[in-house]
Every structure is written in structure tokens, then in C-alpha cells.
């Protein structure tokens, strides 16, 4: 009888140890999973911030390029004859509009959240591509307008 009580007690102890082991393993797995999810979330947040900073920097550089073009057009307007003035005023107005759009995009990027990021990023990239491609041709276009109409 003593053997049977001892056997039952050892089985009971083995079950308790197995249960504790199972609970410990599950808790460790849950903590590991939670840590991995936290790591992924932090990486995504870091990527979001990094990408946002890079896009803001690109747009600020584009805005600076537009400012240079606006200064150039302003100087040309001061010296322009009547015929050239109309084209230069039109160019100045278009550049001013482009600069305003770039400023708006910078503000949108600065205020973007992870929930709005995909939409803001797409709009900002489209705007950057559109303005950057035309800005490259502005100086040549202005030279042609200014020299032809002066």
C-alpha cells in the first residue's frame, strides 16, 4: 500500500512539474512573440520616420531650386522689355504655384501618421516627380523666352 501511495504521489508530482514546465514554456514563447512583434513595430516606425525625413529633405531641396529660379525670373523681370515681361510674369506665377504645392506637400509629410503615410507618400512622390522633371527644363525655357522676346 505504501508503494501505491508513493507511486500516486510521484505521478502527481510529475504531472505538476509537467504542468509548470508547460506554463513556463508557453510564457516564454508568448514573451518571445511579444518581443518580436515589438521589434517589428519599432523597425516599421523607424523606417517610417527615416523615409519621411528623406522625402522632406528631397522636397526642401526642390523648394530651394524653385527659389533660385524665382530669384532668376525676378531679376530678369526687372530688366525685361514689355514683350518679355508677359512670359516672365507667367513663368514667375507658375513657379510660385509649384513652390506653394511643394510647401503643402512638406507640411503633409510632417503631419503624416503611419495610418495616412501610404497616401501622403504617394501624393508627395507624384508631386516631386512632376515638378522636378519640369524644373530641369525651366532655365532653358526662360532663356529662350527672355532672349527671343527681348
Angstrom distance (rounded) from CA 110 to CA 104: 10
Q: What phi, psi does 113 have (nearest 5°)? A: -110, 170
Instruction: Tell me whether residue 7 is in a domain.
Output: no
Question: Range with the lowest mean pLDDT among 28-32, 81-85, 91-95, 129-133?
Answer: 28-32
Instruction: Tell me whether residue 105 is in a domain.
Output: yes
Query: What's the number of domains the chain is made of?
Result: 1
CA distance to 59, 77, 123, 134, 146, per residue, from 129 (Å): 10, 28, 10, 9, 26
> How does pLDDT run across 83-116, given as a tens digit for each residue?
778 888 888 999 999 999 999 999 999 999 989 9
Instruction: Tell me whether residue 27 is in a domain.
Output: no
Q: Model-level pTM?
A: 0.67
DSSP string, 79-95: H--HHHHHHHHHHHHHH
- Residue 65 belongs to domain spanning: 45-149
Q: What phi, psi does 114 have (nearest 5°)? A: -65, -30
Amino acid at each position: 500500500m505504501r508503494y501505491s501511495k508513493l507511486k500516486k504521489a510521484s505521478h502527481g508530482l510529475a504531472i505538476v512539474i509537467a504542468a509548470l514546465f508547460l506554463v513556463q514554456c508557453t510564457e516564454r514563447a508568448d514573451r518571445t512573440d511579444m518581443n518580436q512583434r515589438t521589434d517589428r513595430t519599432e523597425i516599421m516606425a523607424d523606417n517610417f520616420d527615416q523615409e519621411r525625413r528623406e522625402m522632406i529633405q528631397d522636397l526642401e531641396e526642390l523648394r530651394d531650386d524653385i527659389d533660385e529660379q524665382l530669384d532668376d525670373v525676378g531679376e530678369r523681370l526687372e530688366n525685361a522689355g514689355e514683350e518679355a515681361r508677359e512670359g516672365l510674369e507667367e513663368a514667375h506665377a507658375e513657379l510660385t504655384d509649384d513652390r506653394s504645392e511643394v510647401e503643402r506637400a512638406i507640411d503633409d509629410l510632417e503631419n503624416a501618421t503611419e495610418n495616412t503615410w501610404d497616401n501622403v507618400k504617394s501624393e508627395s512622390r507624384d508631386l516631386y516627380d512632376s515638378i522636378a522633371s519640369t524644373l530641369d527644363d525651366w532655365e532653358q525655357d526662360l532663356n529662350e523666352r527672355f532672349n527671343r522676346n527681348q
